[in-house]
Structure 1
Amino acid sequence: MTANAEEGKGIIGRVYENGAPVIYKFVNELPGDDIRAGLPWLAVISWKYDGSSNNGMPLEKDNQGMIALEDAIEDHIESDGFLRHVYSRTGNDLKELVYYIGDQERFLEALNNTLGSHPRYPIEINFYEDRSWEDFRRLLTDFSNAPVR
């Protein structure tokens, strides 16, 4: 496990799963109590792909779609303040975009409105109640002792 400091508090870290690299991108701090209290749901957007010819990483066509999806969420939904991007992971045939949200229906409505003009993405969305932000805390702990390069 390694981590690189990027733009202040931003981190890019690498782990290996089944011998394949997996890249994590996240901000290395919990937001304040007031923000966390308003975002009790973990929303995980998963995009499975075939990276067998690219060491578990997405091929260019899939990667471009993933970037377009992430940019659309960041530009049109995250800026509204009812969600917080906590991390993304890419590798071992799986891309995940992970957010804390306040309301599942509002999130899905905003996502559908935002992606209305996009091609259909091969994604799955799962929600988990996580009022204490345990998932993100676990990620921070996992990377807290990683060597920085």
Structure 2
Amino acid sequence: MSFFKSLFSKKEQPIHSYADFWNWFQQHEKKFFKVLKNQDDIHTLFFEKLSPKLNELREGFWFLAGMYADTTAELILTADGVTKNIVFVEELVAAAPKINNWKITALKQPSDVSKLGVNIDGYKFDATSLHFYAINHPEMPDEIDIIITHDKYNEENRTSMLNGMYIALDVFLGELKTVTTIDNLDIINTIDATEELIPFEKLKDFLIWREKEFIEKYQGTRHNTKNDNYAAMEGTLQNGLPLLAIINAELLHWDSKASHPWIVHVELNYDRANNNGLPTDDDYELLSEIEDNIVAQLKDAEGYLNIGRQTADSVREVYFACIDFRKPSKVLDKIKKTYQDKIKIDFEIYKDKYWQSFHRFMHE
């Protein structure tokens, strides 16, 4: 143990870039390889060394590690299913140098169904125990709504079953496909199935077919918002504070919403608890500057549609519907850092093909 203490006792340079991280990793990769190869105290001698360095670079990096082959260790960097972090995991791995005896992998990769053998809290998740079927929604024909079945499921073990289901999907489909191809997902007991059960090993082919069909249907779909009509709305929150919204009413009735399935939800917390929760003149100027900055980088012609904004209780929320999630992730992350000394900014990105999040703004 004293040998490893001496290795890491030197003062190390802070991690500010992908290059910094990989330079640090290369300094210790031989020791890390030996720890994994010999199955030493992996948690202390590897995981506890690597985690803080990844966190220095940015929050949201997770990892798995083990022996890929007798002479090759594998480090899998993952976003753990968080959409807005995927692009940064991909960039970090793309920046990795070639390191002898190491395989560096971005995101959990798919594997053959025969290798699927997940055990969670005594429950087994494999090709024998799992089946699936899809629910069709005539009013939302492009929605991919998957029901997974397991004969041991009940409401008491729901948490374990959900964990096992998601891990099994990551192993079989891979992390990226699990996040990007399925819109809704649930697990039930086999006896409660309302459709014919399909073998779990056929799920991958089913999703490939649906994805191909979707891409062909919406290839090249665009929307120009220049001449759209915007609606101003007023309301009152449950706490009595006023709510103001400006929404692209025409866009909400567009018949090709599913072509822009990724919703970006930005929160600008001006948090000055005055003016009845609405922005002061100074607040308004800063909020407008930030919003203009976002719109300038996420252009409608490139597939990033500004749906509108809502302002209430010291928070402005800005909404976009996008053709992809990678560029918005990078744009918003940069803007968040640019204004971090002036205002708290947070954002999330999630899939909502039919923009159901915005039904509250729609008036038939």
Which shows bigger deviation, 51-60 or 86-95? 51-60
Q: How many residues align?
A: 134
- How far apart, CA to CA, are the structure 2 residues paired with 1:126 and 1:81? 20
Deviations 1:26-78 (A, max 9, x none): 121235434x2321011100012324221111233322111011111222322
Number of the residue aligned with 1:3:
none
Number of the residue aligned with 2:339:
119
Number of the residue aligned with 1:68:
289
**1:91-102 matched pairs, under 5 angstroms:** 91-102=312-323
Deviations 1:58-105 (A, max 9, x none): 233322111011111222322442211112011211100011112221
Residue 230 of structure 2 aligns with an amino acid whose one-letter code is G
- Secondary structure, in 3 states, of the residue corresponding to 1:103? coil
- Larger strand proportion of the pair: 1
Residue 90 of structure 1 aligns with an amino acid whose one-letter code is T
Number of the residue aligned with 2:330:
109
Structure 1: runs of 5 or more not aligned: 1-6, 145-149
Larger relative CO (CA 8 A, sep 6+): 1 or 2? 1
- How far apart, CA to CA, are the structure 2 residues paired with 1:40 and 1:80? 16
- Secondary structure, in 3 states, of the residue corresponding to 2:234? strand
Please tell me whether the aligned partners of residues 86 and 136 of structure 1 are also in contact (alpha carbons under 8 angstroms).
no
Q: Does 1:27 align with 2:253?
A: no
Residue 33 of structure 1 aligns with an amino acid whose one-letter code is D
Q: TM-score, normalised by structure 1?
A: 0.76
Structure 2: runs of 5 or more not aligned: 1-226
- How far apart, CA to CA, are the structure 1 residues paired with 2:301 and 2:228? 23
- How far apart, CA to CA, are the structure 1 residues paired with 2:337 and 2:300? 19
- Secondary structure, in 3 states, of the residue corresponding to 1:75? helix
- How far apart, CA to CA, are the structure 1 residues paired with 2:320 and 2:277? 23
- How far apart, CA to CA, are the structure 1 residues paired with 2:282 and 2:338? 14
Root mean square deviation of aligned Cα: 2.5
Larger radius of gyration: 2
Residue 119 of structure 1 aligns with an amino acid whose one-letter code is Y
Closer, same or farther: CA 64–118 of 1 in aligned 2, 3 Å = farther
Q: TM-score, normalised by structure 2?
A: 0.34
Q: Percent identity?
A: 22
Please tell me whether the aligned partners of residues 51 and 92 of structure 1 are also in contact (alpha carbons under 8 angstroms).
no
**1:1-149 matched pairs, under 5 angstroms:** 9-17=229-237, 18-29=239-250, 30=252, 32-34=254-256, 36-112=257-333, 115=335, 118-120=338-340, 121-141=343-363
- How far apart, CA to CA, are the structure 2 residues paired with 1:107 and 1:44? 10
- Secondary structure, in 3 states, of the residue corresponding to 1:55? helix
- How far apart, CA to CA, are the structure 2 residues paired with 1:47 and 1:32? 27
Residue 328 of structure 2 aligns with an amino acid whose one-letter code is F
